Structure 1
């Protein structure tokens, strides 16, 4: 469920007409719903209500300060994967004890900044990383809390570019070597092993891969405790999918996900951490664009939009589907027709959809890309010197620009000429 609905033929974001925002802000732009962000976070929080837990939002999905503050005020922790994300989380008011640091390539500088500013734990992804973190912690006179991300070799049955739990993926340490790695941590005075971490991928639409992974984590918990390790926290990652195509069978609900966690790991006496990102932010955002031209081609028609692949790269990068709807609702009974929906970037890959059935549209009409709140704005670029598009947050009857569109002068003036020019 989201809060982008038609009223009297006009698309609304909560209680604000989308066309009204477009008239004030200009197109294209991203638009987020506070009510949807809140609802989706609370679904996860409620799903784990029977267990000690912390829901850490995976902020790589959408990391605007306003989104982070909205979730932090609800009690969310943050899952960060870079020093920049750590700084964003702290700037949004998230205390260090609610920040988990993930990622395969943490640098010593990032480790030092997180230890100085406060951190809940580091999710260790390799043996060289744990050696580096030990050195940094000892140089600062502190002990770093760590979990080890184990790779359970489970097929998440998702897109190859977002699968992370199989043996050939770059993430984590093979679960078969976990006891050896934890023994090494116990010998390093700058580290304290407090739990286990696992994350098998993104956009999962079936709970069975989770069951397989969680059962392996449960067995590993018992084995590590038998080895003398104080395993008291289980970080289970995120990855639950969202319905990008309306009308298809919906992915599992957070409540079912929570029940599975309780069934497989509820008897371990551990605090549970989960790191949802896409399901919190995905359907909480849309991208709004305007038709520049309707072009008749050889055997097909094109809708040429002012939004482009640099604004929303998921279709070009992942062959991802987004439902695209007119901001003015189509009249009942109107005949739909196929369009290739494209942007103005000079790449054939700047195509959002091919032969998508749409109501007849004209230049100037507005369209909305649904389910664009996750991995939309955060993956955008200024390719073709196209400004990053604004982000807007709605809260009931109110809306505010939470990232403005930069001017061309602001973009160009970031460049500097060397003295010989």
Structure 2
């Protein structure tokens, strides 16, 4: 396990919305312990003020150089969060038809939505074209053909850009690096110009530019400079061939501060954009996800049991890897805060924090400076606003975690827990069907089901 040294008193001078008051941890003006009395743990809790502040700070840096912002919905797809950002004028970057519907439900105009991803279905493409999406970032020659065929069937033109793989290593975790030559993402940079010309000749397509995204949680700005410089060279080369390239999508990937690691310098990030691609005259877009919401969220959990191990005490929590996948999936390290301000007792033991899931990977690390803990104590995983709730599952048939939004002195649940009674409703058996002969449409059997057990209505309890 990784050992983390945390100081819950050091919440960051740029995070005045997260403070200890009267011995209790507050998000804005709401005590988290009070939220925990109203909402069963575990639950995610977000600060509306933190989300708004992050957007405004980034916008103040990039808007003056002509860059628009689209939030990467995969980071946090709750429609209340999307609605907050939409009210500020933020667009959305989506990677599925479901995320498209979420963005539309949150009030985002279709004209401000970008559709990325390597495996779009024809139904998803059709829906995107029908609602008037801003652009589809295509990632292969085969997808170009599919988009053209769908658009032809609809009698419309589809707006596309080509996602480029520039073979730039972002030097982060292997599972969040997306622009090396062996990655599934994007079109090799050497193939782009020819494919762009072919696509531009198709009457069903409106080819509008190129896009790039090199990875996630990037702190070193040099990979951005290399990638953006490569994109600038590509645009100049394509224009030299007579191709029109009005848009350039620069993707996301900006990391966030955590523990004693400072976040990237946003002014430097904006300067790199201006220096590398500012002279092109393109419509520029960035697609941050984690940077806008990551530090705005906490995951609150209760200590269930304490267990003495040879290596030291272990705290078993009611939150598991199904609720927070990042430690198991990416070896991620989340700071941990106590909901009651701990004593600054350096002699307090180091606790290994684990969850209840029946997997050895359900562990979060070893932490100190949490004070002496007891069963029933409340903790919060910090920097959990991105890729937390959006990646949560019901593995081990556990409830799907709830989400809460705080605004000033009030809070509300923005996604209630999905409990086992609701899950069982999804599994009520339908009628048996029989495969239709080749070329014929399948029909549902009108015969009664012969299995008496399946005929018996399923009784579901209510919570």
Deviation sequence 1:13-66 (CA, Å, 0-9, x none): 111000000001111100000011111111221111222232000010001010
Using the alignment, how far apart are the partners of 2:424 and 2:306 within structure 1?
31
Deviation sequence 1:261-316 (CA, Å, 0-9, x none): 01111111111100000111100101000001111123321101111111101111
Using the alignment, how far apart are the partners of 1:180 and 1:106 within structure 2?
22
CA RMSD of aligned residues (A): 1.3
TM-superposed CA distance for 1:233, in Å, is: 1.2
Of the structure 1 ranges 298-307 and 234-243, higher mean CA displacement relative to structure 2 is found in: 298-307
Q: Hey, what does 2:30 align to over in structure 1?
A: 16
Q: Which of 341, 360, 369 is the matching residue for 2:372? A: 360
TM-superposed CA distance for 1:173, in Å, is: 0.4
Alpha carbons 1:206, 1:251 under 8 Å: kept: no
Please say if 1:413 is aligned against 2:425: yes
Structure-to-structure mapping, 1:260-409, within 5 angstroms: 260-333=272-345, 335-354=347-366, 356=368, 358-409=370-421
Alpha carbons 1:308, 1:344 under 8 Å: kept: yes
Alpha carbons 1:46, 1:255 under 8 Å: kept: no
Q: Hey, what does 2:162 align to over in structure 1?
A: 148
Q: Hey, what does 2:459 align to over in structure 1?
A: none
Please say if 1:227 is aligned against 2:241: yes
Of the structure 1 ranges 395-404 and 407-416, higher mean CA displacement relative to structure 2 is found in: 407-416
Alpha carbons 1:151, 1:167 under 8 Å: kept: yes
Of the structure 1 ranges 330-339 and 261-270, higher mean CA displacement relative to structure 2 is found in: 330-339
Using the alignment, how far apart are the partners of 2:418 and 2:129 within structure 1?
34
Structure-to-structure mapping, 1:243-258, within 5 angstroms: 243-244=257-258, 246-248=259-261, 250-258=262-270
Please say if 1:202 is aligned against 2:216: yes
Please say if 1:52 is aligned against 2:66: yes
TM-superposed CA distance for 1:333, in Å, is: 3.8
Q: Secondary structure at the match of 2:170?
A: coil
Using the alignment, how far apart are the partners of 1:396 and 1:355 within structure 2?
31
TM-superposed CA distance for 1:336, in Å, is: 2.6
TM-superposed CA distance for 1:356, in Å, is: 4.9
Q: Hey, what does 2:5 align to over in structure 1?
A: none
Using the alignment, how far apart are the partners of 2:224 and 2:152 within structure 1?
36
Q: Hey, what does 2:110 align to over in structure 1?
A: 96
Q: Secondary structure at the match of 1:195?
A: strand
Using the alignment, how far apart are the partners of 2:85 and 2:38 within structure 1?
27
Using the alignment, how far apart are the partners of 1:71 and 1:253 within structure 2?
22
Deviation sequence 1:174-222 (CA, Å, 0-9, x none): 1111111111112211112111100000011111000001111111111
Given the two structures, how large is their TM-score scaled by the length of structure 2?
A: 0.88
Alpha carbons 2:348, 2:368 under 8 Å: kept: no
Using the alignment, how far apart are the partners of 1:161 and 1:182 within structure 2?
29
Q: Hey, what does 2:39 align to over in structure 1?
A: 25
Unaligned stretches of 5+ residues in structure 1? none
Please say if 1:106 is aligned against 2:150: no
- Cα distance change, pair 127–307 in 1 and its aligned pair in 2 (3 A): same
TM-superposed CA distance for 1:381, in Å, is: 0.6
TM-superposed CA distance for 1:259, in Å, is: 1.2
TM-superposed CA distance for 1:387, in Å, is: 0.4
TM-superposed CA distance for 1:417, in Å, is: 3.1
Using the alignment, how far apart are the partners of 1:407 and 1:81 within structure 2?
27
Alpha carbons 1:196, 1:231 under 8 Å: kept: yes
Deviation >4 Å, runs of 4+: none
Bigger Cα Rg: 2
Q: Hey, what does 2:442 align to over in structure 1?
A: none
Using the alignment, how far apart are the partners of 1:345 and 1:37 within structure 2?
31
Q: Hey, what does 1:242 align to over in structure 2?
A: 256
Equivalenced residues, count: 419
Please say if 1:191 is aligned against 2:200: no
Using the alignment, how far apart are the partners of 2:361 and 2:120 within structure 1?
32
